[in-house]
Amino acid sequence: MTVPAAALTVRRLGVVDYAAAAVAMRAFTAARGPSTVDEVWLLQHPAVYTGGLRCRTAIGGRGDINGVPLVASDRGGLFTWHGPGQIVAYLLLDLRRAGLGVRQLVRGLEQAVIACIKGYGVTAGRMDGAPGVYVGGAKIAALGLRVRRQCTTHGLSFNVNIDRDAFAAIDPCGVRGLEVTDLCTVAGDGCSVDIAEVEERLLKHLAAVFGYGDLRPGNALPQLSAVQQRAECGEPRRRADVHPPAAV
């Protein structure tokens, strides 16, 4: 069976635990084949700090920061926060079939967010040497990806209406003193921002940037057996609580 390059399954998942989403992504990617349709998962996470592959030594295992869980992730990048009011878009793509390189993927993700923000009358852009999207020097969207056998997991996080104080406990993306903002803040008091609407606009721009015209609904996590999840992904490692410095 040949899958058209323009086909994309869209899963609107609501609030999903970070660890559950990570396990499902890894299992989905391990099980996918040449005919597997690409997917995008749109969701929010309960409050959680995550550290990418470069942070494994600093984390040492699973701990917390100020009572908020800290989880080691297999994505690229350093430390970040996920939580209510932030849209997370996980892109499960076959780069070879889509004709994309990693740099094209990163630029495309940034462009989709920039275009989405522009719809609210706000100018956003990139910053040299620092992937993501920025408004006036403050980060509004972060990227973190993993590519294995030309297939991607993870994706982007886009701040819509968040608790910005949550970022005060870390150096966002490893940049000390980096300011973080959200769409509600930069759009101004006169702009009404509905997160479900922003999610739909972001999806439209992602589909346009990457050429997906055939959007297929898939409104739950893929059904993967517990045996398959353990075999393909392994269980998250747990150690005694590890408390990193207040700024990591």
The pLDDT tens digits for 132-158 are: 999 999 999 999 999 999 999 999 999
Q: Which of 193, 208, 170, 159 is nearest to 50 (CA)?
A: 170
Fold of 9-233: BirA Bifunctional Protein; domain 2 (3.30.930)
- Model confidence at 238, pLDDT cuts 50, 70, 90, reads very low
85 in Cβ contact with 159 (< 8 Å): yes
138 in Cβ contact with 91 (< 8 Å): no
Residue 108 CA, chain-centre distance (Å), reads: 14
pLDDT at 246 over 90: no
From 116, 151, 173, 233, active-site residue: 173
Where in the chain are the domains?
Answer: 9-233
Active site residue 151: no
pTM: 0.86
The pLDDT tens digits for 151-201 are: 999 999 999 999 999 999 888 877 888 899 999 999 987 677 899 999 999
What pLDDT does residue 229 have?
45
